Amino acid sequence: MSDGIEVEQIVNTNEHKPRKMPMATSLDKDTIREAYEDVRSDLSETEWAVFKFDGPRIVVAAKGQCFEEFKSHFTDNERAFGYIRIQMGDEMSKRKKFLFLTWIGPEVGVIQRAKMSTDKAIIKDVLNNFAVELQAGSETDLDIEIFRDALNRAGGANYGTGVRDL
């Protein structure tokens, strides 16, 4: 059945080479839950925990008390999550509020940025109790007053300063 037309067959020589596929994100669930409960506990002085990626696995990177130290764990070229306890309230009623932070540094690539929504859903299975969720991407976003303001707005009425003069 040839009409004088030659058919050229194209052969893909890369057909059998494996493609590079991103690995699914997983959690170090036990240590993440332990850090989460440590931050939540009234018996603990731990005020925050930071969770970072170790390859495709989310792990506890640090825990502590000082907000300045908390801020130091978020760098321009990485993705991370933070969970922080902040003292709120007025002179008569003090209470702890919790904030969940998603960090995407300004130098993080497009694909890693896109993965954050699914990665966030995975860690929120463990870190599931918080008053406010914020996303940050620059050092100026990591401000205790921004965090307090967001918690105040989420909490409704705000009658005082949180400090009782004696």
Q: Which segments of the chain have a pLDDT < 70?
A: 1-22, 90-91, 156-166
pLDDT at 25: 85
CA–CA separation, 27 and 92 (whole Å)? 40
CATH match of 26-154 with 3.40.190.10: no
Report residue 102: phi and psi, to 5°.
-110, 125
pLDDT at 16: 57
Domain residue extents for the chain: 26-154
135 CA to centre of own chain: 8
CA–CA separation, 152 and 134 (whole Å)? 13
pLDDT at 105: 97
Nearest Cα residue to 131 out of 91, 95, 81: 95
pLDDT at 162: 54
pLDDT at 38: 97
Task: Provide the whole-model pTM.
Answer: 0.79
CA–CA separation, 89 and 163 (whole Å)? 8
> Is the separation of the CB atoms in 50 and 61 below 8 Å?
yes
Average pLDDT, the chain: 86
